[in-house]
Structure 1
Amino acid sequence: MNHDDPRITGEHVRSIDTPTGTVTLVGVVHDHPASVFRVRTLISGRDPDVLALELPPLSLPLFERYAEDTRTPPVFGGEVSAAIQAAATDRLVGIDGPTPRFLRRLVATLYRDGDSLTTAAGVLTRLASVTKSTLRCRLACALAARTDVRLEVDSPATYSTDRTDSAARQAENEGHQIARARAVMDAFEPSRASCFSDEVRESHMAHRLGRLRHDGDVVAVVGRHHLDRVADLLRDRLGETASS
């Protein structure tokens, strides 16, 4: 592994040591070539016992299908299928919602925090959209299992760089994407429903990773904007476990 490669710097990686193994969180920009390279390189180098992905469990089989591609990286599925293709382990886990446990957490948090009906309606609208996307993934996987058809459920994001460009150019462009997203967040304050949904998702993912750490070394691939929050929540969770 070339540790001088700007695509795999510590800026995008958080490692948390536990008594049963190391949890490594890898932050990604969806479909970006620098992120695809990062997950492939880190997963191959660390050879984790568990690969955790920011996906609903119901969506995971579709990306496993994408990862069966003979091309490297796979044509479909972006950094997720690239991560699966690079992993030697068969222990693949989707750590995002919706799941029954996630829904219980969502309802309990809404009730506990006493958010307004407007926030609740916004959260449920976002949940319905995610659930619809998850079901499309499941149907696409069922189709792929019965035919040779491979469907890209969501249109892949495109950038002014690709994997044939230099490492420096890819890393620079990815940095611009991250900075632009932060600038938009700063200029246009996200709705309470959007923030609430992210908070519940991040809490759920940290909880899942806290349980998965008992299975050995874990590499988790998450959106770059979730990286620090999930890492902090996981450290807090491990601290509480150690002191209890």
Structure 2
Amino acid sequence: MGFPSAVDIDSDPRVTGEYIRQVSSDTRTVTLVGVVHDHPASTYRARQVVEELDPEVLALELPPISIPLFKQYASTDRCPPVFGGEMSAAIQVATGTTVGIDRPTGGFFQRLGQNLLRERPSLQTVRNVVSDAVKTTKHAIICRAAATVGARTSVRVEVDSPVSHDIDWTDAPDDQARDERKQVRRSRSFLNAFRTASRSQASRLEDVAREEEMAARLLQLREEGDIVAVVGIEHLDSVAERLNSVDEAASPDDVRDHYRTN
């Protein structure tokens, strides 16, 4: 048993304008899909939007060198795939080009360095930034190595254990959507309550650089055609606003109308 093959935008609470933004130019549209990583509602939403819009480009909040691993995760008859959450579920139905737009990339490090020079944060904040950059780079390299192993041996290597949630994709759509909203609220409250000042500043500097670079990449990729971009919900509005500095973003109601007429 897998995902239904179609979605009714009027009745399915998992696929609404709440976590979808659209930014349109004269000829191209970037559709941003916000997700809670590995959540069944998010996995369903990412897959359905990609399947319905059939974009020329699928852009994922993943390092570019990690894409081969997630393509391997997606190459299965199981729906959704066992590994890779919403990212491999989106790849599974994509017919165009799939690209990663997240760190580590040269553009990200350049923007991060500029932000550090501009704000001149504390030494502890800089240490936190460097530590995080090293961890994410190592993880991306591990993903690429796992993809190489998979390509040579047909063995799927699970790099990350899926995030555990209180619900799964067999539960009712209303329950999935409700739990997803709860997860979003819980995540924001947790971060605000337990981060130190230097850790919060480091995360903010990294997020700004990530969102700047993701928006810049999406603007470049738009030359190739329409895009669906799957990003964490915490980045959704910021990336949309950065794109909106060039084009006018559609409201959630406009997104709903778009689905009704396509």
| Number of the residue aligned with 2:34 | 27
| Number of the residue aligned with 1:45 | 52
- Which residue identity does 1:226 align to in structure 2? H
Q: CA deviation at 1:96?
A: 0.6
Provide the rounded CA distance (Å) in 1 between the counterparts of 2:210 and 2:54: 26
| Number of the residue aligned with 1:168 | 174
- Which residue identity does 1:45 align to in structure 2? E
| Number of the residue aligned with 1:231 | 240
Of 24-33 and 1-10, more deviation after overlay is shown by 1-10
Provide the rounded CA distance (Å) in 2 between the counterparts of 1:168 and 1:147: 41
RMSD (Å), alpha carbons: 1.3
| Number of the residue aligned with 2:162 | 156
| Number of the residue aligned with 1:217 | 226
Scaled by the length of structure 2, what TM-score is found? 0.87
Q: Is the CA contact 2:69–2:147 (under 8 Å) kept in the aligned structure 1? A: yes
SS of match in other structure, 2:245? helix
Deviation string for 1:161-188 (max 9, x for gaps)? 1111110011111111001112223334
Scaled by the length of structure 1, what TM-score is found? 0.94
- Structure 2 residue 125 is the aligned partner of structure 1 residue 119: yes
Percentage identity across paired residues of the two chains: 50
Q: CA deviation at 1:32?
A: 0.6
Q: 1:207 aligns with which of 188, 212, 216?
A: 216
| Number of the residue aligned with 1:103 | 109
| Number of the residue aligned with 2:64 | 57
State how many pairs are aligned.
Answer: 238
SS of match in other structure, 1:92? strand
The ranges of structure 1 where at least 4 consecutive aligned residues each deviate by more than 3 angstroms after the TM superposition are none
Q: Is the CA contact 1:20–1:213 (under 8 Å) kept in the aligned structure 2? A: no
Q: Gaps spanning 5+ residues in structure 1: where?
A: 240-244
Q: CA deviation at 1:41?
A: 0.7
Provide the rounded CA distance (Å) in 2 between the counterparts of 1:203 and 1:237: 13
Provide the rounded CA distance (Å) in 2 between the counterparts of 1:57 and 1:152: 18
Q: CA deviation at 1:115?
A: 2.4
| Number of the residue aligned with 1:242 | none
Provide the rounded CA distance (Å) in 2 between the counterparts of 1:157 and 1:97: 20
Provide the rounded CA distance (Å) in 1 between the counterparts of 2:121 and 2:45: 38
- Which residue identity does 1:93 align to in structure 2? V
Q: CA deviation at 1:43?
A: 0.6
